[in-house]
């Protein structure tokens, strides 16, 4: 059973309204997801894989191409087009997007990895 069916049957509880959840789930189901499940060869291999995503900045410094008083420009990977593209944000929008990646005080810093990582261009 998928989440939309669970919502329809009343099995999904949330503080968000049913209609907002329905729209959110529809958007996510229509989105392209890059899923690849690699067999875990060993605990050591898995820990090394996960460790790459811990305590690292959301954007590597070498990806920034231009920073001005009003705009930030950096390179991102577009998996649909299979190439590197330039992404631009206004400073305020960039700070808002970046703030989502900063963990709260006393929280673990791991972000998404493996099957929880969506491939999208923000």
For the chain, the domains span 1-30, 33-116
pLDDT in tens, 10-61: 888 888 888 998 998 899 888 888 877 777 788 777 777 777 766 667 788 8
Q: Which pair of tokens denotes residue 39? A: 């067999």
Task: Tell me how far apart the alpha carbons of residues 73 and 86 are, in angstroms, rounded to a whole number.
Answer: 7
**Helices assigned H by DSSP within the chain:** 3-8, 18-30, 43-51, 91-99
pLDDT attached to residue 120:
46
Q: What are the pLDDT digits (tens) for 27-40?
A: 988 888 887 777 77
Average pLDDT over residues 80-105: 86
pLDDT for 63-87, tens place per residue?
999 999 899 999 999 989 999 999 9
- Tell me which of 8 and 83 has the higher pLDDT: 83
pLDDT at 83: 95
Main-chain phi, psi angles of 116, to 5 degrees:
-90, -5
Largest alpha-carbon pair distance within the chain? 51
What share of the chain in percent tops pLDDT 70?
78
pTM equals 0.45
Look up residue 30 and give its two tokens. Answer: 């229509």
Q: How far is CA 111 from CA 52, 56, 122, in A?
A: 10, 9, 16
Distance of CA 121 to the CA centre of its chain: 9
Token output for 8: 């329809």
pLDDT for 119 beyond 60: no
Q: Residue 88 has what pLDDT?
A: 95
């Amino acid at each position: 059973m998928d989440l939309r069916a669970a919502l329809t049957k009343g099995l999904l509880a949330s503080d968000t309204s049913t209609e907002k959840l329905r729209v959110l789930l529809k958007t996510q189901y229509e989105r392209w997801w890059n899923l690849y499940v690699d067999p875990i060869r060993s605990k050591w291999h898995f820990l090394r894989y996960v460790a790459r995503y811990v305590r690292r900045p959301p954007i590597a410094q070498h990806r920034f191409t231009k920073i001005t008083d009003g705009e930030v420009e950096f390179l991102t990977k577009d998996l649909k087009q299979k190439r590197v593209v330039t992404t631009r944000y206004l400073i305020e929008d960039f700070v808002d997007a970046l703030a989502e990646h900063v963990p709260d005080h006393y929280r673990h810093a791991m972000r998404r990895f493996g099957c929880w990582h969506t491939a999208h261009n923000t």
